[in-house]
Structure 1
Amino acid sequence: MSEIIFDNYRTWLEGQKIPNGERKSLLASLDLFAKQGYDGTSTAQIAEYAGVSQATIFKYFKTKQDLLMAIIEPVIKNFFPIYRDDFLAKLKEFRTLREFIHFFVQNRYKFAKDNQDAVIILITQALVSPQIRKLIVDTLKKPNHSIPDEVGRILRNTGEVRSDLDEITLVRTFIGSIGSYFLQSRFWKTKDEQHDLQLIEEQILAFLKN
């Protein structure tokens, strides 16, 4: 399976037994939300882009928010678990803290860049929607597949991590560093991305190491 979230969503959607007008509305919304943002896209624009009437859109979705959730919910429930479990399996290959940090930073930053439209939509909507926040948190903390628990366990197995840091702090350190740099890079071009990522790795290492 490709690691491009929206490509996989499109493929999944094509296989769903739903009316053509509903499918067109979802695909048009996906493209426009990614290009213009959720708030910058109107249902009139979606209807024109999809080649359907607004009445058709509202036949299947009561509000624009319902349309957004019809995209986000299957993405989080069907695809994120696959990416999560594959990522956790790869993390277990590393034995030293430096190797772990290098892989985590490089791999998750590449994933964010490859899926920047999906990431931006999820981040912006998670800030304002409790429903979306709950979906994301439930997926990340699923029993037996909890990212904070697994990351904490693997890091502690290196014997190099400070004992005063709990699992949430460990994960937040990674996500905060990678996420803030990803968002900054959307607005300001970096001169040397690899150099910046190496600095982030060193900063995380300095913070986590005994």
Structure 2
Amino acid sequence: MSFTPTQKRILKAFKDLLIQNGYRNATTHKIAELAMVNETTIFRNFKDKRGLLQATIDQYLADIDHLKHEQKDTGNLEKDLTAMADKYQKFVFDHQAIFMIGLRESFALPEVNKDVEKIPIHFKSLLVNYLEKMQQKGHISQHADIEVLAMNFVWLNFGYFLTQSRFDSPLLSINHKDFLSKNIHSFVKELTC
């Protein structure tokens, strides 16, 4: 998906306002002001605020498709799960505006909620496939419930994203590197017990 520099500025302003103020309060006037363009430039490029939202969703969906081809398995549980969690965290933080609008406006914009669901579903699918492979190779107990393990990993990562993006308290904060090394290590330790 290719955008002109002006379109990129407008989309960035829109996403920043979505994160800060939500969809309703991200007016085209505020978007134009933040992007340093005239409101008519927004209308000419995206038609209206709904067009901006659709362009943001389309970009998000294209990036999900790109993610599907990036996974490289080494056979080392800790290394592979760390790489998956790292990619997931980078993706959700890069697309924080979509996730926040999905959480804030899920009743008013149910179509956005359906699109937001696609990344945890994709992440879970990747995890299930990977964990089943590792179970077949004997790296994970044959009695382990792969579906539950995959969901726990999704929740662990989504919970980290939510606390890092919404809360300022140092009591709820952990840096990205520590999150990956400590939490993934603990998760893998439970898998191999």
**TM-score for both structures, normalised by structure 1:** 0.63
SS in 2 for 1:85: coil
Partners of 2:78 and 2:188 within 8 A in 1: yes
The residue correspondences of 1:168-187 to structure 2 (distance < 5 A) are: 169-186=148-165, 187=168
2:30 corresponds to 1:45: yes
- In the alignment, which residue of structure 1 is the partner of 2:180? 197
SS in 1 for 2:68: helix
How much does 1:173 deviate?
1.9
SS in 2 for 1:95: coil
Partners of 1:109 and 1:178 within 8 A in 2: yes
- Report the Cα distance in structure 2 between the residues aligned to 1:55 and 1:111, rounded to whole angstroms: 29
SS in 1 for 2:23: coil
- In the alignment, which residue of structure 2 is the partner of 1:188? 169
2:18 corresponds to 1:33: yes
Partners of 2:89 and 2:161 within 8 A in 1: yes
- Report the Cα distance in structure 2 between the residues aligned to 1:139 and 1:105, rounded to whole angstroms: 12
Letter of the 2:38 partner, please give it.
Answer: V
2:75 corresponds to 1:95: yes
1:53–1:153 CA distance, 2 compared to 1 (3 A): closer
SS in 2 for 1:38: coil
Q: CA RMSD in A?
A: 3.6
- Report the Cα distance in structure 2 between the residues aligned to 1:172 and 1:110, rounded to whole angstroms: 19
- Report the Cα distance in structure 2 between the residues aligned to 1:26 and 1:112, rounded to whole angstroms: 17
Partners of 1:43 and 1:54 within 8 A in 2: no
Partners of 1:47 and 1:57 within 8 A in 2: no
- Report the Cα distance in structure 2 between the residues aligned to 1:165 and 1:203, rounded to whole angstroms: 17
Number of equivalenced pairs: 179
1:149–1:35 CA distance, 2 compared to 1 (3 A): closer
Letter of the 2:23 partner, please give it.
Answer: Y
1:56–1:200 CA distance, 2 compared to 1 (3 A): closer
Listed as ranges, the gaps of 5+ residues in structure 2 are none
- In the alignment, which residue of structure 2 is the partner of 1:165? 145
State the identity %.
Answer: 16
How much does 1:131 deviate?
0.9
